[in-house]
Amino acid sequence: MDTNRAKDESLTIPERKAYVKSANSRLAKAFQIDPKNSLCNTQMALKMIERDAKKAKTMSTSALLYTKNSTLRANAHLINGRIAHSEGLYKEAFENYKAAAEDDPNSTVIQFYLGLLYIEKGL
């Protein structure tokens, strides 16, 4: 996978950037082929979460509509929770984190964000 190769610290920065660019290109192409693919939607949403939260939320919500896979559902709920959390929508964030934890109860990342919200807001 190009994204794994991009993490190889023995590569130069331009080589690593080339692998990232290749990975992004493949993901975009996969999304064009099947825009309802939940894995593509969650990966695209993760890439967009910082730049375009509205678009990221649309993609992660789309992923929820088209999959029953608990891991993908958990990731989509986590993305929606992170977006709501960053926008100060704490109850919505809590509901999404809680749904993510139900879909993937062993995820330490989900537990981290849920715990962070508990600490910040006492929810």
Top-level class of domain 34-121 = mainly alpha
Proportion of the chain above pLDDT 70, given as a percent: 91
Task: Give the CA angle between residues 81, 91, 120 to the nearest 5°.
Answer: 80
DSSP label at residue 36: T
Residue with tokens 């990221």: 56
Is it the case that residue 21 has pLDDT exceeding 80?
no
The pLDDT, as a whole number, for residue 37 is 75
Nearest to 69 by CA among 81, 58, 77: 77
Alpha carbon distance 51, 40 (integer Å): 17
Alpha carbon distance 77, 97 (integer Å): 6
Over residues 65-94, the pLDDT tens digits come to 988 999 999 999 999 999 999 899 999 999
Task: With beta carbons less than 8 A apart as the criterion, state whether 100 and 108 touch.
Answer: no
| pTM as predicted | 0.75
How far, in whole angstroms, is CA 58 from its chain's centroid? 12
Task: Give the CA angle between residues 59, 23, 6 to the nearest 5°.
Answer: 125
